[in-house]
């Protein structure tokens, strides 16, 4: 899925519908809550100034050459290697032929045909004639070698260019199985391990052995992931029964008019703990379900999904003093409507929970951006360091805490969002918002 620029949560776009739910002071000009700037556009600023002395040291010429070589693809490296080897072998062959032709001409050059030249023309003239004969031998050999060298170099250049082209084609064909492995690895996720394989066809060589080993590893991973998901789902189902029994017993005990005040206080505390455990179990069940391959695929308009999620949580936002601004455009995709609704609801609920008290803001947006379906939820809140953002998508992880501060939830909200988005072939990113809070952007495949 391509990465597109984020929707500006404070931009004025034609066709967007705006509505405000909840309470809280609003600027008279309608630009948002006073003291809380709207979500920013562009990338977030890093936390704090860069460390002192962080400027890179000047690199030598050899280091620069190595960095250029490191940026060259393996296909071009093989092509250049083929070309260099060919030109080296061709140059050696040309030198050998050059020397052998010279030696052959010197060896094959005939002796002077007249043996008694001294008696015919005299010794002095005979010496000059013989010297001219040897000079003609040298000139003929030199000219022949020069012409041979020039024509050989032209032939070497032409054949060398042809060798570079053939070398590139050969390298491309040799690397094609590796490209297939890379493409398969990029498409892999927890929901596609069951049916994504390389299944390389061809001779039984090293690359075929590597592809078969990779396929066997994918099969083992799929079995491991499936076993883990089944365990989570079965354990969650098994735990729901005793929790339901506990809740029923506690409600009966609290309904007893003869129960003491201390007993009722204890019962209410236990009911809260039991309710939290039930939410945790439901979250685990939903996480296990969302990590499987989708069994339901229907046309879904994310505008309707976002409207439903906002309406369901409007009372909760009003109780928390959070002003919700929804700007929704039609954005259709194909997927599981229940999982997608839970995904958006988790984002909105998370933005309400982790907001500033009594004067928070929350923005919800849906629409199409450069051909990609985008759902964006931004909120005010505490400052979120950039290095903490990715860890928030892990199960049971919370900001500045691990398995603590559980009064706001079980720590599964963003994990479920990521699992649902991945099951639908999309991606989700989060960026720290200037002034505090997060800007979470979900991108899905359009219908």
CATH architecture label of 17-43+296-444: 2-Layer Sandwich (3.30)
**pLDDT above 70 (res 267):** yes
Let me know: does 355 contact 348? Beta carbons within 8 Å.
no
pLDDT of amino acid 424: 82
Q: Which residue has the higher pLDDT, 403 or 210?
A: 210
Half-sphere exposure at residue 358, Cβ-oriented, CA atoms within 13 angstroms: 0
Question: Averaged over 362-381, what is the pLDDT?
Answer: 88
Q: Which residue has the higher pLDDT, 45 or 361?
A: 361
Predicted TM-score (pTM) above 0.75: no
Label residues 35-61 b or e (16+ Cβ within 10 Å = b).
ebbbbbeeebeeeeeeeeeeeeeeeee
How far apart CA 257 and CA 251 sit, in angstroms, is 12
Q: What is the pLDDT of residues 400-445, one digit of tens each?
A: 554 444 445 556 778 888 888 887 888 888 888 888 888 899 999 8
Backbone angles phi, psi at 421, to 5 degrees: -65, -45
Domain map of the chain by residue range? 17-43+296-444, 69-187, 206-290
What CATH code would you report for 206-290? 1.10.287.130
DSSP state of 49: P
DSSP state of 437: S
Question: Averaged over 7-11, what is the pLDDT?
Answer: 42
């Amino acid at each position: 899925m391509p990465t597109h620029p984020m929707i500006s949560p404070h931009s004025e776009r034609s066709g967007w519908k705006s509505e405000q739910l909840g309470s809280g002071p609003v600027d008279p000009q309608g630009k948002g809550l006073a003291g809380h700037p709207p979500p920013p556009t562009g990338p977030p600023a890093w936390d704090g100034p860069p460390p002192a002395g962080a400027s890179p040291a000047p690199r030598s010429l050899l280091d620069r050459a190595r960095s250029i070589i490191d940026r060259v693809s393996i296909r071009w490296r093989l092509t250049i290697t083929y070309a260099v080897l060919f030109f080296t072998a061709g140059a050696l062959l040309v030198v050998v032929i050059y020397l052998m032709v010279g030696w052959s001409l010197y060896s094959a050059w005939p002796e002077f045909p007249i043996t008694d030249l001294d008696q015919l023309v005299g010794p002095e003239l005979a010496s000059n004639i013989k010297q001219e004969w040897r000079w003609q031998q040298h000139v003929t050999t030199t000219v022949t070698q020069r012409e041979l060298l020039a024509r050989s170099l032209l032939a070497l250049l032409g054949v060398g260019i042809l060798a570079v082209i053939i070398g590139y084609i050969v390298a491309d064909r040799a690397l094609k199985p590796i490209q297939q492995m890379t493409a398969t690895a990029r498409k892999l996720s927890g929901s596609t391990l069951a049916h994504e394989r390389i299944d390389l066809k061809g001779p039984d060589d090293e690359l075929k052995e590597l592809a078969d080993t990779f396929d066997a590893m994918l099969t083992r991973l799929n079995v491991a992931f499936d076993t883990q998901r089944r365990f989570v789902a079965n354990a969650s189902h098994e735990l729901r029964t005793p929790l339901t029994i506990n809740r029923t017993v506690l409600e009966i005990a609290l309904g007893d008019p003869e129960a003491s005040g201390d007993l009722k206080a204890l019962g209410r505390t236990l009911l809260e703990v039991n309710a939290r455990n039930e939410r945790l179990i439901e979250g685990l069940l939903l996480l296990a379900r969302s990590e499987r391959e989708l069994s339901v695929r229907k046309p879904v308009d994310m505008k309707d999904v976002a409207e439903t999620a906002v309406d369901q949580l409007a009372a909760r936002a009003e109780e928390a003093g959070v002003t919700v601004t929804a700007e929704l455009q039609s954005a259709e995709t194909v997927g599981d409507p229940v999982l997608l609704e839970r995904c958006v609801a988790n984002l909105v609920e998370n933005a309400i929970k982790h907001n500033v008290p009594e004067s928070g803001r929350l923005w919800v947006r849906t629409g199409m951006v450069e051909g990609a379906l985008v759902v964006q939820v931004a909120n005010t809140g505490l400052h979120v360091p950039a290095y903490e953002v990715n860890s928030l998508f892990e199960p049971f992880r919370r900001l500045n805490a691990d398995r603590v501060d559980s009064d706001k939830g079980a720590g599964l909200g963003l994990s479920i969002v990521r699992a649902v988005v991945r099951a639908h072939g999309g991606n989700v990113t989060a960026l720290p918002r200037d002034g505090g809070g997060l800007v979470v952007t979900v991108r899905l495949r359009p219908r």
